[in-house]
Amino acid sequence: MQGGTAAVERVFREEYGRLIASLVRRFGDIDIAEEAAGEALVAALERWPESGVPPNPGGWLTTTAGNRAIDRIRREKQRDAKHQAALMVYDDTPPEPSGPVEDDRLRLIFTCCHPALAPEARIALTLRLLGGLTVPEIAQAFLVPETTMGQRITRAKKKIAAAKVPYRVPEAADLPARLDAVLAVLFLVFNEGYLASGEGSPIRAELTGEAIRLTRILRQLLPDEPEVGGLLGLMLLTDARRGARVRDGQLVTLAEQDRAGWDRAMIAEGHAVVRESLAINRPGRYQILAAINAVHTDAPAARDTDWSQVVALYDQLTRLDSSPIVALNRAVAVAELDGPEVGLALVDRLPLAGYHAWHATRADLLRRLGRSAEAREAYDAAINATQNTAERAYLSRRRGELV
């Protein structure tokens, strides 16, 4: 029975973005969509553990949630003028075929990423509605308290409803300007899948897959925007290493990964996408990150990595994005080129004490410098700052190996 519940929740999460997007299109209201989806989950939890998961669980959830939403609107329309208005936009056409432009989830992403919403709210809302992440998981991803994140999402949803933020893919003329926020969101969704913040599965392939799928659609829509290709290439070259990234429940670092376990077809596609994007000759942040990953995936073994090129690319990236997280990654590459002492001096300057990767990087550099006592403290801090089980297992092993 417990396993049954877990299976239902897994299916629900996989189907969540599609479900919410189609309900928003039908009923024109995010709250109605979320409530109906929640009721469909309750119904599934009642039935599926006994009757089994239906052959088309997404279709079952969509039908059930749609019926619940209609019931609700009928019940409430007499006493509430706002639900009356919602009924007027009710659209009973079947879900549209998922062509590039018509995709419901793409529409929803442009709504969630509307410039009238605060940037942090855009990303949070997209992760909630399209990624199906819970509020605590999103709060963890952003290093903010849960209540703050909850309020942020609620406020954004209220604004969308009250101010009528439209639910559609922007017109061609407005599309490039609206793109940056969408790319940032997709990258975050990808990252949440690639190193999940919660205690569950360390890698959530449904999120990386979802981010890649949506980015592919965007690229079909905007073939001349090199940053879309840059982001797709970055995702492909990163996700290609997924199979080698966790072993026996432990995270495996890039240097220690079995490169035979990398997905060669995905790497080839990633390299091709990056080349096509760079050829447009309008470099940007995602193209540079993709190029860095192309350097890594080009190296037959970790020791063959062209670190001077990696550092040069991070220098280029720093000029576009001066955030401390970019500086942290640059410092890792500098440590490979100029030694751990140089790297550590750069890392120690960064205001990232709430970020697990900062502690993990410090721990590794201190270990390599033979400063075991300090390394142990840094490993403890890194372990406390992440919920990801595979990362914790890796960090604990490293800490145990200190002399």
- The piece of 19-27, 121-129, 161-169, 208-216 that touches other proteins (CB under 8 A) is 161-169
Applying CB under 8 A, among 59, 166, 223, 370 the residue interacting with other proteins is: 166
Q: What is the DSSP letter of 355?
A: -
Burial of 276 (0-12, 13-18, 19+ CB in 10 A): middle
> Cβ 174 to other proteins, closest distance in Å?
8
d(CA 291, CA 296): 9
> Cβ 187 to other proteins, closest distance in Å?
25
6 touches other proteins (CB under 8 A): no
Q: Are 109 and 126 in contact (CB under 8 A)?
A: yes
Q: Which residues contact 19 (CB under 8 A, 6 or more apart)?
A: 37, 40, 58, 61, 62, 65
107 touches other proteins (CB under 8 A): no
> Cβ 166 to other proteins, closest distance in Å?
4
d(CA 358, CA 392): 14
Residue closer to other proteins (CB basis): 81 or 279: 81
119 touches other proteins (CB under 8 A): no
173 touches other proteins (CB under 8 A): no
> Cβ 211 to other proteins, closest distance in Å?
26
Residue closer to other proteins (CB basis): 171 or 224: 171
Other beta carbons less than 10 A from residue 368's beta carbon? 15
- The piece of 49-57, 65-73, 159-167, 323-331 that touches other proteins (CB under 8 A) is 159-167
Helix runs in 264-323, H state only: 264-279, 285-298, 307-320
Question: Facing residues of 250 across strands?
Answer: 247
281: phi > 0 → left, psi -120 to 50 → alpha, else beta; which? Answer: left
Binding track over 63-102 against other proteins, x by CB under 8 A: ----------------------------------------
- The piece of 1-9, 124-132, 166-174, 232-240 that touches other proteins (CB under 8 A) is 166-174
Question: How many chain residues bind other proteins (CB under 8 A)?
Answer: 9
Applying CB under 8 A, among 116, 268, 320, 325 the residue interacting with other proteins is: 116
> Cβ 115 to other proteins, closest distance in Å?
8
109 touches other proteins (CB under 8 A): no
Residue closer to other proteins (CB basis): 116 or 268: 116
Only one residue has tokens 């550099």, namely 365
162 touches other proteins (CB under 8 A): yes
Burial of 400 (0-12, 13-18, 19+ CB in 10 A): exposed
Residue closer to other proteins (CB basis): 162 or 353: 162
> Cβ 176 to other proteins, closest distance in Å?
15
* Token pair recorded at residue 289: 């990150």
- The piece of 35-43, 162-170, 274-282, 384-392 that touches other proteins (CB under 8 A) is 162-170
Applying CB under 8 A, among 165, 188, 288, 383 the residue interacting with other proteins is: 165
Other beta carbons less than 10 A from residue 135's beta carbon? 19
Question: Facing residues of 56 across strands?
Answer: none
Nearest residue to 26 (alpha-carbon basis) of 2, 74, 56, 62: 62
Q: Please give the backbone phi and psi of residue 251, each rounded to the nearest 5 degrees, phi first.
A: -65, 135
- The piece of 156-164, 187-195, 311-319, 338-346 that touches other proteins (CB under 8 A) is 156-164
Residue closer to other proteins (CB basis): 158 or 264: 158
> Cβ 163 to other proteins, closest distance in Å?
5
> Cβ 138 to other proteins, closest distance in Å?
24
d(CA 387, CA 391): 8
Helix runs in 339-388, H state only: 340-348, 356-368, 372-385
Q: Which residues contact 378 (CB under 8 A, 6 or more apart)?
A: 359, 360, 362, 363, 366
Residue closer to other proteins (CB basis): 165 or 366: 165
163 touches other proteins (CB under 8 A): yes
Q: Are 232 and 190 in contact (CB under 8 A)?
A: no
> Cβ 106 to other proteins, closest distance in Å?
16
Q: Write out the residues near other proteins by the rule CB under 8 A.
A: 114, 116, 162-166, 170, 174
